[in-house]
Structure formats: C-alpha cells, structure tokens
Amino acid sequence: MSERPAPASASLLPSASRRALLSALLLAAPALARAQTAAPIRCFGPGGPAPAMRAAAEAFRQAHGVPVEVVAGPTPQWAGRVAEEADLLFSGAEYMMDEFLDRFGEVLDPSTRRILYLRPSVLLVRPGNPRAYTGLRDLLSRPPQEARILATGGAGQIALYEDIAGRTGDISLLRAMRERIVRIAPNTGAAQQEWRSRPDAYDVWLVWNHWQIAAPEHASIVEIEEPFRIWRAAGSVLSRRGAARAEVRRFDAFLAGPEGRAAFERFGWRG
C-alpha cells in the first residue's frame, strides 16, 4: 500500500505564498498582543449617555483592540469605585460635571475636561401618541387629568421643567406645568421604571430624546417647540491615572472624533 504524502509544511510552500503568510502574521500580531495585554479602560457616569458611550466603546475596541468598560447609573452606585478604578468620567449635564470635579477633585485631572455632545428635551408619550399632543403649549392647555406629567429631579435634569416652562417669562405656563406634574422621580432610571410599570398613571414623560431612541417600543416622541426646548450636554474628564495611560487618552480623543460623534448621533445627540 502506498503511503499518503505528508501535508506540505510552510517551508515547502512557494516563496510568494510564504511571504504572504508571513506578512499576514506580522500584521495580526500587534492587534493580538494588544487584545491580550491591554487593561480595560473603565468609564463611569449616568445612565442617559450610557447607550452612546457603549456604542463608542465597542467601536474603539474593534478599531484598537482595547476593551472599554462602561459603568452607568446614579452616582451613589459607583462613586466608591472612582478613586481606585476610574480612567474617565462622563456626565449628562455641565452642572453634573461641576459636581464630579468638586466631589472627586483629588482623583480627576480638570485640564482634560471637555464638552462632547448635546441632546434636546422632549415629551415622551404612550406609543402612537393616543392623546394626539402636538407640543408643550398644547399639553399645558389640556385639563390636568388629560396631561399627567412624569418628570425627574436629578440625573442632569435638575430644574428642567422650570427652565422649559419659564423660558418666556410667562408665569402662567410654569403654574400650568407644575399643576400637571404627578411625580418627580429622583433619577431617570426610577422615572423609566415608573413609566413602564404604571401606564395608567402618566400621559407624558418629560425627559431627553435618547431615552425613547434607546427603547422605542415604550414611547413615542413629541417635540417641544421653540422657545421652550432645552439642551444639555454630555461631557468627559479623565482621572489622573487615566490621563497617564496612552490608550485612555486615545479613547478620549476617539469620543470627540468622527467615530465617537457617529456613535452619539445614533442616539439623538448633536455636536
């Protein structure tokens, strides 16, 4: 019985094939090494910008082979981890970033603070807009029992309803707004739970547009007309330990660049 020929080894391949194989291995090696050795970049911040941050983090991992962990939620849930773990904090409003710098000042590098992108306030209504609201003035003209508003008192939204209704200096609009607010939730996660679990309690959720974009099956958007629409920003700041890491500085620049902008725009942010 004749013996089967042994598989050709790399040394027996034609020289052109060997060169192509070697080139492919050399090109792949840096990315493989980064993926195996790079410590994750850890980012902490509120829940609102988190979907866009996670999309940007995944795009960065695919492009550079460096994992990025996004820890999001109310500040008390993660504040105790900042000193030891944080490379970057992200915010949902400029006043929130001011609070981060005041609270974590010894950990953060204020020279790295940057404003990233803006998003607008909107009226979220039940899917399909069954009450056919057309905007803020229309909402505030309805009887209170047909315009039950859920608002948020924290998470980048402190005084948001007052800023919106008070834009023109017409105090009757602010009074009408306050009369129709049924509950002010402590944060947007709590407001989201209220909205989803108690559909008969609220007609309108006053919040940022990206909360609908991230979960469109739970609400429809009614735009707040000018001059009442309020915009607030997401921002970032590096910790001192993060600023010392080249890959963290690269991710921070990535967030502000075309790839980061594209990730945020998917969730309704502008910049």
Residue 90 CB coordination number (10 Å): 25
Statement: residue 114 has pLDDT above 80: yes
- Residue 35 confidence (pLDDT): 45
- Residue 243 confidence (pLDDT): 98
Burial pattern 172-195, b for ≥16 Cβ within 10 A else e, equals: ebbebbeebbbbbbebbbbbbebb
Mean pLDDT of the chain: 90
Asked if omega into 227 is within 30° of 0 (cis), the reply is yes
| Mean pLDDT, range 111-120, rounded to an integer | 98
Task: Categorize the per-residue pLDDT at 33 as very low, low, confident or very high, splitting at 50, 70 and 90.
Answer: very low
- Residue 162 confidence (pLDDT): 97
- Residue 37 confidence (pLDDT): 62
Amino acid at 66: V
Burial pattern 60-88, b for ≥16 Cβ within 10 A else e, equals: bbeebbbbbebbbbbbeebeeebeebbbb
Instruction: Give 215-233 pLDDT, tens digit per residue.
Output: 999 999 999 999 999 999 9
Statement: residue 156 has pLDDT above 80: yes
Distances (CA, A) of 15 to 10, 20, 29, 192: 9, 9, 21, 63
Alpha-carbon gap, residue 243 to 260, rounded angstroms? 19
Q: Which of 12-16, 206-210, 222-226 has the lowest mean pLDDT?
A: 12-16
150 neighbors 189 (Cβ within 8 angstroms): no
Percent of the chain residues topping a pLDDT of 70: 86
Task: Categorize the per-residue pLDDT at 19 as very low, low, confident or very high, splitting at 50, 70 and 90.
Answer: low
The structural domains of the chain, ordered by start, are 36-117+233-265 (3.40.190.10), 119-231 (3.40.190.10)
More confident residue, 167 or 35: 167
Q: Cα–chain-centroid distance for residue 198?
A: 25
Statement: residue 32 has pLDDT above 80: no
- Residue 155 confidence (pLDDT): 81
Percent of the chain residues topping a pLDDT of 90: 85
80 neighbors 230 (Cβ within 8 angstroms): no
Alpha-carbon gap, residue 65 to 68, rounded angstroms? 10
Statement: residue 10 has pLDDT above 70: no
Instruction: Give 123-137 pLDDT, tens digit per residue.
Output: 999 999 999 999 999
Task: Categorize the per-residue pLDDT at 38 as very low, low, confident or very high, splitting at 50, 70 and 90.
Answer: confident
Task: Categorize the per-residue pLDDT at 16 as very low, low, confident or very high, splitting at 50, 70 and 90.
Answer: low
Q: Which of 11-25, 48-62, 145-159, 227-241 has the lowest mean pLDDT?
A: 11-25
- Residue 36 confidence (pLDDT): 52
